[in-house]
Amino acid sequence: MSVEPSPDCPICVRLHDFIAEWRVKEPGWHNGPVPTFLPVEGVQSVKLLIVGLAPGLRGANRTGRPFTGDYAGDLLYNTLNEFGFSRGTFAARPDDGLQLIDAAITNAVRCVPPQNKPVGGEISNCRRFLTPTIEQFVNLRVIVTLGTIAHQSTIRAFNRPVAKFPFSHGGQSDIGNIRIFSSYHCSRYNTNTGRLTTEMFKGVFAEVRAYLDDIAG
């Protein structure tokens, strides 16, 4: 099974048609499944995987790189840089030269959904890509799930019952030798409402860094 959908993936009719509409409106945009953002050192170097929900319409759907072009990316990439998971300066465009270090970023649903809300069948459909994406990282030790949907889809990608691995901000659980840290999604809505503060978000990645440093000896 391929880890990435085809550029014109037809599996989810609603999402395919929505992207087709935006290809007409904005022909210069990416307007397709957004691939996993990998470090230049390749899949073998990945110890941390971040799983988001889906591309934003004017963010990753426009730019073609996860969390690039909207506020969520500002918070995420600044945090990754602070804790040594990226190098370079994030400038909200895919050619800004930012590089990941020992980390990769993907989404539970690779195509932008209307109103940023994928339906259950779309989430299930796209797990055929999430599962092999996870499996390709043979040195993976940590997954950070951003939000309930990303968390539950990740648990299901391991073929585990979500009831035994409930989502909570700051929660941790182990599946085999992989530790899963969960966080509220770093969306502007969550930060504007105070549900997620910068300190809360950075706190999760501080724990991730400490855990990885600890198991590295």
Q: What token pair was written down for 126?
A: 């796209």
pLDDT on residue 217: 77
Residue 128 to residue 198: CA distance in whole angstroms: 33
Distance CA(203)–CA(29), nearest Å, equals 34
Interval 41-50 mean pLDDT:
98
pLDDT at 161 over 70: yes
Judge residue 34's burial from the number of C-beta atoms within 10 Å of its C-beta, 0-12 exposed, 13-18 middle, 19 or more buried. Answer: buried
Residue-wise pLDDT for 168-194, tens only, equals: 999 999 999 999 999 999 999 999 999
Q: What is the DSSP letter of 163?
A: G
Mean of the per-residue pLDDT values of the chain: 97
Give pLDDT, residue 100: 98
Residue 88 has pLDDT above 90, yes or no: yes
Q: Residue 202 in contact with residue 85, Cβ under 8 Å?
A: no
Gap between the Cα atoms of 112 and 103, Å rounded: 23
Check residue 87 and give its pLDDT: 97
Query: Distance between CA 161 and CA 159 in Å, rounded?
Result: 7
Q: Which fold, 13-215?
A: Uracil-DNA Glycosylase, subunit E (3.40.470)
pLDDT at position 1 is 60
Please state, in angstroms and rounded to a whole number, the distance separating the CA atoms of residues 43 and 40: 9
Residue 69 is given by DSSP the state S
d(CA 116, CA 120): 13
Which residues, other chains included, contact 168 with Cβ-Cβ below 8 Å and sequence gap of 6+?
182
pTM for the model stands at 0.97
Mean pLDDT score, 129-143? 98
Statement: residue 2 has pLDDT above 90: no
Distance of CA 93 to the CA centre of its chain: 17
Check residue 119 and give its pLDDT.
97
Q: How big is the chain, counted in residues?
A: 217
Arithmetic mean of pLDDT, 21-45 = 98
The pLDDT value recorded for residue 167 is: 98
Q: Per-residue b/e over 142-168, b at no fewer than 16 CB within 10 Å?
A: bbbbbbbbbbbbbbbbbeeeeeebebe
Confidence class for position 130, pLDDT limits 50, 70, 90? very high
pLDDT in tens, 74-87: 999 999 999 999 99
In the chain, domain spans: 13-215
Mean pLDDT over 60-67 rounds to: 98
Confidence (pLDDT) at 96: 95
DSSP 37: B
pLDDT band at 53 (very low <50, low <70, confident <90, very high): very high
Residue pair 72/186 in contact (Cβ under 8 Å)? The answer is: yes
